Amino acid sequence: MEITKVGVVGAGQMGNGIAHVFALAGYDVLLNDISQDALERALDTVRRNLERQIAREKISEAEAQAAVGRIRTTLKLEDLGGTDLVIEAATEREDVKNAIFERLLPHLKPETILTSNTSSISITRLASRTDRPEKFMGFHFMNPVPVMKLVELIRGIATDEPTFKTLLGVVESLGKTAASAEDFPAFIVNRILMPMINEAVYTLYEGVGSVKSIDESMKLGANHPMGPLELADFIGLDTCLAIMNVLHDGLADTKYRPCPLLTKYVEAGWLGRKTQRGFYDYRGETPVPTR
């Protein structure tokens, strides 16, 4: 199946990045959100990120203008019915995702491929709630989407081969690399990454090191570009907690138990960069550790 029109549900950090890369690759994009402000912020973010790519001579001014021209926005979910591929990039909550699919299904073409950008939730389970489990896949982009080269492709138990091959071609057309993952909790990247972040939070919780010493140790001692606590703030502590809960519930292994300190930060609303406070306080000129 040829994909030319792409619908993206959710205009947040992931959704606007997905819209960006698809539009730049020549696809017509329809970006949906429940908030007009979110849609306007998303377009502003896309423009800023395209300008960065121009400054780094990754793309031309003409390519950037053409990409912006390919993105349309809508508050009506049913408007995505005419697209060839839908990518759900809403919040990492299964009930929210299921509600979106339920509202969307009556409006979709029979051949439309339905995907979720979920970072941890069972693709088989999500697909089973739709009318097209054979045309349903996990389509997991990494954050920030315009920069990161990897896309995890996750087949549910019913996903057919033509759907997988189509999405493999789409990933290649975006200039990215696909990694095929089996449908187990958190797939590949987050199955490895989130327990490391959770262990860093335990290291802080138990007083083994401070925020600064933990992050500096991993940057200078393991050559990581960003410390695990800084990375957690970038991802969003609520997302980190949600993925750890999926791992803990899905695999029933105590090694995936979320650190109580991570839970406490989320309960306080200190979710990282997006709320200006997490393991660092971002309200000043430079981030300051909060512990």
233 is in an annotated binding site: no
pLDDT at residue 92, as a whole number: 86
Cβ-proximal residues to 147 (8 Å cutoff; 6+ apart), any chain: none
Query: Are the CB atoms for 243 and 194 separated by under 8 Å?
Result: yes
Active-site positions?
A: 119, 140, 152, 190
**Domains identified in the chain and CATH numbers:** 5-182 (3.40.50.720), 191-289 (1.10.1040.10)
Query: Does residue 208 have a pLDDT over 90?
Result: yes
Digit-coded pLDDT (tens) for 216-238: 999 999 999 999 999 999 999 99
Whole-angstrom Cα distance, residue 112 to residue 13?
24
Apex CA 287: angle with CA 286 and CA 289, to 5°? Answer: 140
58 is in an annotated binding site: no
Digit-coded pLDDT (tens) for 26-67: 999 999 999 999 999 999 999 999 999 999 999 999 999 999
Q: Cα–Cα distances in Å, from 164 out to 17, 45, 128, 167?
A: 22, 30, 17, 5
* Closest to 35 in 3D by CA, of 6, 74, 68, 69: 74
143 is in an annotated binding site: yes
57 is in an annotated binding site: no
Helix (H) / strand (E) containing 195: helix 189-205
